[in-house]
Amino acid sequence: MPTQREVDEAAIRGLIGTIVEGLRAKDLEALKRAYTADVVSFDVEPPLQHVGIDAKLKNWSTVFAVFESVTYEVRDLTLAIGGDVAFGHAFARLSGTLKNGTATGGMWVRLTYGLRKIEGTWLIAHDQVSVPLDVRSGRGVVDLEP
């Protein structure tokens, strides 16, 4: 019989899988079900924070407007789970074919999740996407791979 931690970890990994599949299918409704209504997202696009599910879905809508087909990968997901809260970190890459037909390999980013278990369901309450910074030039370093 699995422990509660094993059950929770499987549920969270399934939730991240829902994000991956929702992006590939360009399915905003599936994505919406993965986040809390008051999610706070520190995404790579301005502004510094995106607050609420509508703001988060607007970011994904922008991706869908630019990409004809989307591929999303998550690697090395590591989770820490305690009661009704959890956090995780991973590497992720968004790639695919742009609307103009150009294929793009995308870039690897660092991804951190903050999750809450609400009425028995794990949801993403916070996410942060970042790239390393070259301090001398002030530019992000986008050609690294995990």
User: Which domains are seen in the chain, by residue range?
Assistant: 4-129 (3.10.450.50)
β-bridge mates for residue 103, sequence order: 97
Provide the mean pLDDT of the chain.
96
Output the pLDDT for position 141. Answer: 93
Q: Is 103 exposed, middle or buried (0-12, 13-18, 19+ CB in 10 A)?
A: exposed
Closest alpha carbon to 87 in 71, 111, 60: 111
Output the pLDDT for position 118. Answer: 98
**Contact in structure between 85 and 116 (CB atoms under 8 Å):** yes
- What's the rounded mean pLDDT across residues 87-100? 97
pTM surpassing 0.75? yes
